[in-house]
């Protein structure tokens, strides 16, 4: 069955945090208080995440590590070996959350193959929790019979004030499934938004922090990415922001279905 411990609501996306500068940024984030580090096989940051965990001085149980199996590793002969390699690169014996990064485009790899692999990774103790990323409702529905009801703990998808994904959000809520918002700052667009800026001034934080606070208030996990120390602090401040009903409604009104990540391999989105 699924874990009872919740996934930390505010995490750090590690895309782009490569090399010595990337490692320094991860260590600074941990110093600030971030405890959830999100990486992926395709990011090239698993090594830095593992090194940051090792150098942090914190016990393993204090840090929550997520990684994702690339869509190039979904075949039965590749799936589990790729997870094993990720653990070696991370210098860990398990991750706290293992996700499928993208469903196989046009079912080039049968859905059952990699969902079974995901369940097997958990059964082997390589992942405490399992989930998915970029899954539409149809794929969520066909996942449960394979891995077991309630085993999928999150669906990591693009969500920000301009893409609030109401159909997917409402479906997830009806199933008790938490969504993880990647790119929650809309590639930095939120920083120039006048509505968010006005609300931010009221709370004494940045527009980015307001965006994150809004998404967390909607029940989502957020994983903003930054290598800048000041922005890491600014984003972390979102944890202490409580928005009024009027402020929340004003941000909900910003939704315009603006999707920024939509590669050729994308599934048919619900929103």
Residues with a known catalytic role: 43
- The reply to whether 203 sits in an annotated binding site is no
Residue 235 CB partners (closer than 8 Å, separation 6+): 10, 185, 206, 208, 209, 212, 224, 226
Q: Which two tokens stand for residue 96?
A: 């706290």
Task: Return d(Cα 54, Cα 74) in angstroms, integer.
Answer: 29
Task: Return d(Cα 78, Cα 51) in angstroms, integer.
Answer: 25
- Binding site for substrate, residues? 101
- Binding site, residues? 101
């Amino acid at each position: 069955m699924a874990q009872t411990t919740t996934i930390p609501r505010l995490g750090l996306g590690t895309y782009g945090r490569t090399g010595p500068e990337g490692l320094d940024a991860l260590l600074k984030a941990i110093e600030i208080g971030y405890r959830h580090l999100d990486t992926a096989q395709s990011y090239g940051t698993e090594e830095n995440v593992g090194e940051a965990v090792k150098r942090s001085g914190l016990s393993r149980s204090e840090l929550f590590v997520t990684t994702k199996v690339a869509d190039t590793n979904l075949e039965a002969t590749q799936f589990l070996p790729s997870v094993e390699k990720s653990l070696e690169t991370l210098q860990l014996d398990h991750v706290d959350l293992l996700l499928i990064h993208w469903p196989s485009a046009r079912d080039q790899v049968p859905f059952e193959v990699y969902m079974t692999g995901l369940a097997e990774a958990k059964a082997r103790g390589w992942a405490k929790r399992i989930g998915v990323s970029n899954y539409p409702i149809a794929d969520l529905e066909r996942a449960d019979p394979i891995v077991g009801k309630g085993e999928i703990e999150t669906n990591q998808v693009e969500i920000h004030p301009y893409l609030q994904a109401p159909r997917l959000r409402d479906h997830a809520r009806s199933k008790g499934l938490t969504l993880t918002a990647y790119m929650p700052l809309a590639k930095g667009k939120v920083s120039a938004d006048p509505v968010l800026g006005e609300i931010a001034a009221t709370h004494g934080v940045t527009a980015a922090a307001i965006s994150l606070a809004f998404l967390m208030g909607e029940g989502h996990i957020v994983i903003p990415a930054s290598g800048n120390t000041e922005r890491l602090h600014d984003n972390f401040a979102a944890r202490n922001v409580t928005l009024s009903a009027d402020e929340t409604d004003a941000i909900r009104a910003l939704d315009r279905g603006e999707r920024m990540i939509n590669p050729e391999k994308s599934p048919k989105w619900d929103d």
